[in-house]
């Protein structure tokens, strides 16, 4: 009898654990995109992103972390554990695409940097708001123009038909930017 209960527990608990365990995400290093050569890259690396100007400068390649729902709020207020928040894939994809498409908006830098993009989707007010989180290495005051550029490129979804369980979501994507400079020369160099 007890052996049967233990076997049943293992048969139920093991698949649940495997489905709910945290996914291993490699660390988003400060130089995560600096060593990717043209035509190379792994999953999630967009090797086609380039500067929109036809000059001889090297294209900027942005490396994105996995989109994560870091907060969701029910209609009456309160807070739900992030693990219980469902993924709004349409918004995650729109944010990632907008970050990749607007790599040219990143400020010039002689060293690589990261920006933590947080998209707040408010289903009650039918609004999206993008802001820079604290975990990026580029400070908020320096990331303002980049954040505005990425936010303006996100097409607002049809909130009425977008399936959701909660009233408000915060979706986070960490982006790593390589150093930039004219024709591969670091800024400040001659």
Q: Quote the pTM value.
A: 0.63
Secondary structure of residue 96 in the 3-state scheme: helix
| 28 half-sphere exposure, CB direction, 13 A CA radius | 22
Burial of 174 (0-12, 13-18, 19+ CB in 10 A): buried
Give CA separation, 184 vs 105, 174, 177, in Å: 17, 25, 15
Secondary structure of residue 175 in the 3-state scheme: strand
Residues paired with residue 114 on neighbouring β-strands, in sequence order: 176
Secondary structure of residue 188 in the 3-state scheme: coil
CA distance 172 to 62: 15
Strands (E), 48-133: 63-64, 68-73, 113-122, 127-132
> Is 39 in contact with 47 (CB distance < 8 Å)?
yes
Intervals of the chain under pLDDT 50: 21-58, 183-190
What pLDDT sits at residue 16?
52
What pLDDT sits at residue 47?
39
């Amino acid at each position: 009898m007890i052996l049967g209960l233990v076997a049943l527990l293992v048969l139920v608990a093991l698949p649940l654990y495997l489905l709910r365990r945290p996914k291993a995400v490699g660390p988003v290093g400060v130089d995560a995109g600096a060593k990717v050569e043209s035509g190379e890259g792994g999953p999630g690396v967009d090797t086609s992103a380039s500067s929109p100007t036809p000059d001889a400068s090297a294209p900027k390649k942005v490396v994105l972390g996995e989109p994560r729902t870091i907060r969701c709020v029910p209609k009456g207020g309160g807070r739900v554990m992030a693990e219980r928040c469902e993924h709004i894939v349409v918004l995650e994809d729109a944010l990632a695409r907008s970050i990749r498409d607007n790599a040219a908006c990143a400020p010039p830098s002689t060293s690589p940097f990261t920006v933590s993009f947080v998209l707040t989707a408010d289903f009650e007010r039918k609004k999206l708001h993008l802001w820079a989180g604290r975990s990026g290495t580029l400070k908020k005051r320096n990331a303002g123009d980049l954040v505005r550029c990425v936010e303006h490129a996100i097409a607002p979804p049809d909130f009425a038909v977008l399936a959701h369980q909660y009233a408000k979501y915060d979706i986070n994507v960490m982006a790593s930017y390589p150093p930039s400079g004219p024709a591969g020369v670091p800024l400040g160099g001659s």
